[in-house]
Amino acid sequence: MIRVFVPADTTACALGADQVAAIIAEFANKSGLDIELVRNGSRGAFWLEPLVEVEAAGQRIAFGPVTPGDVPGLFEAGFPAECDHPLCLGKTENIDWLAKQQRLTFARAGLDDPLSLDAYQRSGGYSGLRKALEMSPAEIVETVTRSGLRGRGGAAFPTGIKWKTVLEAPADQKYIAANADEGDSGTFADRLLMEADPYQLIEGMTIAALAVGADKGFIYLRSEYPKALKILTQSISAAEQARLLGENILGSGFNFHIEVRLGAGAYICGEETSMLESLEGKRGLVRFKPPLPAIEGLFGKPTVVNNVLTLAAVSTVLASGAEHYRGFGTGRSRGTLTAQLAGNIRQGGLVEVPFGTSLRTLVEEFGGGTASLKPVRAIQVGGPLGAYLPESQWDLPMDYENFNAAGAMLGHGGIVVFDQSVDMLQQARFAMEFCAVESCGNCTPCRIGSVRGVEFIDKIGKNENRDDSLELLEELCETMDKGSLCAMGGLTPMPVRSALKHFPRDFEPADFAGRVD
Amino acid sequence: MQATTEKVARVVTGAVSKYANCPGGLMPLLHEITASLGYIPKENVADIARGLGLSRAEVHGVISFYHDFHDHPRGRTTVQVCRAEACQAMGSRELETHVKQRLGIDYGETTPDGRFSLEPVYCLGNCACSPSIRIGDDIHARVDSDRFDEILDGVQA
């Protein structure tokens, strides 16, 4: 039987994958072709979605991007066989954009039905947990520490050290909290992982629980991801039925339960302490630290709070060994960077490469430049709190230290490309506006500062008290940076200052001769 | 959409008894009521508070903190337009102007016929194929003004 794959991923479906699947089934039926239609996850090559694949004789042949209207023509040309049709891309493994990546965490994404436990285990899934079950908690923590894995949510804190703190905290109850509140614009790696390879997250959480002695875990998922909710709910229940989750996991006597809790549209709940408040059923007000969540986290108990990608990476670390994982990357940034190419980009999607790859390589070689075909002007890296980078900074190696040194940050790996039509004053204004909308309100620099920030930028735009407004804006940025309770208020100045520093002409009066719009 | 008093009572009582003993149960409770009624009636805040052993202020505080929760009736279908940076880079500012004009309402408002409520959203995780909108649970990619009209015309509500 021929297997035909049509992704059921959010982006693929947003581009018509459900209709494509229905029409393929209809045409196959009409032609008397015996096909098995598999709704796989996406490989993350979103520019090629819907990316239809056909598996025959152990080979995968790709077609894309396939719109519903393309299907009749494909069948006429000989589909599902490899055929002479402009959408036929040849063997999937030979698509340069995918072949040039170094996939560890996303190696399995898009290969099969994300809910198939068989497919997951056939491709090495649960070998990490099986190894962990043979180890002592301290050995698991030591392995994660040795791998050099750092938090992928944005803060880049060494995962092993966090786990060690939780392991050593005496308590009758501990928790694992997966942060799936992926709110940064330009990021979709967590979503892709949860939709394409959910068991990897579940396995990683189970390993974390085993390592620190937790028996309960929560996935805090943003409500903007309805498909991920469905897939996670189904995969948790399938893992429980297979005794890979729940009571007496794999006959080891170890118990661990996972529950998915939905956020409710608040960006701030991606901040770990705000997320814990929300999990407790409260307003997502940021907590003071200390105490660290590793000591007093969810319901006051020691809690491992990790990003989805961090927990997923743990499965790879345990399965392939700490040395294998730390063999990728550069300096203190070990393993792989999951870059997400977004915004005005021709070939957008998820690119997993070793740390140290340059922004230019990602945007030009993988991204193929802008979708509008105009020159790139600014690139925002690291979400709405990340810096806008001008061309002079595109050759920086993408790793935590180099980006910090340049006044920027990698964050969660989002890369949003803007062409020449961007007005950087508007972007700086939006950074403040977004902070005003999404601030939890618990500290003054963020709550009030963001509102004042919008006002100052508007004054600069209208050329009112220009010099004073610029000076006050800089002082305000300093106050927010130094005085905010968390990264929301603390980092909002980053996009604002970078826009001012690198694109000063956009802040000149509209009739200024040198202004570029 | 205004629900009948009987339906409201049934949904609220059901949700309260389901989550009364669930740690941190207020969030899933509010989601469940929202899924059934479209909003959380103000008049029932006291019932929810009593059932969960919270103060009315605590329940009100949570409802008012989160964008997804509303204490007044809403349109049958929610239209969300992404306002975040990746979509801005692909023309979402023009799109949002068009959407507001086409629906004749601003963010946070409901069309007079009760069909649509319009909300901003900050990222739908579809940023490689911007601009994005969400209608109900369906996310649409690369939406310009014409595409929006086409999608909206196809909504059954």
ipTM (interface predicted TM) = 0.97
What is the rounded average pLDDT of the residues B56-81? 97
Superfamily of the domain at A2-99: Glutaredoxin (3.40.30.10)
Is B128 touching A (CB cutoff 8 A)?
Answer: yes
Which residues lie closer than 8 Å to B132 by C-beta, 6 or more apart? A14, B82, B87, B124, B126, B139, B140, B141, B143
Query: Which of B59, B123, B124 best tests the A interface by mutation, with the highest count of A CBs <10 A?
Result: B123
Domain ranges of chain A: 2-99, 117-326, 329-419, 424-507
Q: What is the mean pLDDT of chain A?
A: 96
Contact B30 A264 (CB under 8 A): yes
Q: pLDDT (tens digit, 9 = 90+) per residue, A270-322?
A: 999 999 999 999 999 999 999 999 999 999 999 999 999 999 999 999 999 99
Backbone phi, then psi, for A372, in 5-degree steps?
-80, -5
pLDDT one-digit tens code per residue, A4-54: 999 999 999 999 999 999 999 999 999 999 999 999 999 999 999 999 999
Average the pLDDT over A382-387 and give the result: 97
Give pLDDT, residue A512: 57
Q: Name the band, by pLDDT with cuts 50, 70 and 90, for residue A517.
A: very low
Q: How confident is the model at residue A216 (pLDDT cuts 50, 70, 90)?
A: very high
Residue A516 confidence (pLDDT): 47
State whether A185 and B86 contact (CB < 8 Å).
yes
Q: What is the CA A360 to chain-centroid distance, rounded?
A: 20
Report domain A424-507's class: mainly alpha
According to the model, what pLDDT value does residue A318 have? 98
Tokens of A36: 């098995």
Q: What angle, rounded to 10 degrees, do the helices at A226-241 and A198-212 form?
A: 60
What is the pTM assigned to this prediction?
0.97
Right CATH for A117-326 from 1.10.3720.10, 3.40.50.2300, 3.40.50.2000, 3.40.50.11540: 3.40.50.11540
CB atoms A344 and B89 under 8 Å: yes
Distance from CA of B117 to the nearest CA of A (A): 16
Beta-carbon count within 10 A of A168 CB: 14
CATH superfamily of B77-153: Glutaredoxin (3.40.30.10)
Give A211's pLDDT tier (boundaries 50, 70, 90). very high
Q: What is the pLDDT of residue A305?
A: 98
Percent of chain A with pLDDT over 70: 98
Give the pLDDT confidence of A153-210 residue by residue, as tens digits.
989 999 999 999 999 999 999 999 999 999 999 999 999 999 999 999 999 999 999 9
* Strands A52-56, A2-5: pairing kind: antiparallel
Instruction: Return the CATH number of the domain spanning residue range A329-419.
Output: 3.10.20.600
Contact B127 A343 (CB under 8 A): yes
Average pLDDT (A430-448) is 98
φ and ψ at A345, to 5 degrees?
-140, 140
Mean per-residue pLDDT for B80-89?
98
The full set of domain ranges for chain B reads 5-65, 77-153
CB-based contact A408:A389 (threshold 8 Å): yes
A442-451 burial, b at 16+ Cβ within 10 Å, e below that, comes to bbebbbbbbe
B48 shares contact with chain A (CB less than 8 Å)? no
Residue B19 identity: Y
Q: Are the C-beta atoms of residues A213 and A253 closer than 8 Å to each other?
A: no
For residue B4, the tally of other CB atoms under 10 A from its CB is: 8
Q: Is the pLDDT of residue B3 over 90?
A: no
Tell how strand A2-5 and strand A35-38 pair up: parallel
Q: Nearest C-alpha of chain A: how many angstroms from B80? A: 10
Largest distance between two CA atoms of chain B: 50
Cis peptide bond upstream of A290, omega within 30: yes
Determine the 3-state secondary structure of A378 from DSSP: strand
pLDDT tens, residue by residue, A331-381? 999 999 999 999 999 999 999 999 999 999 999 999 999 999 999 999 999
Name the percent of chain B lying above pLDDT 70. Answer: 99
Convert the pLDDT of each residue in A385-412 to its tens digit: 999 999 999 999 999 999 999 999 999 9
Token pair belonging to A351:
């690119």
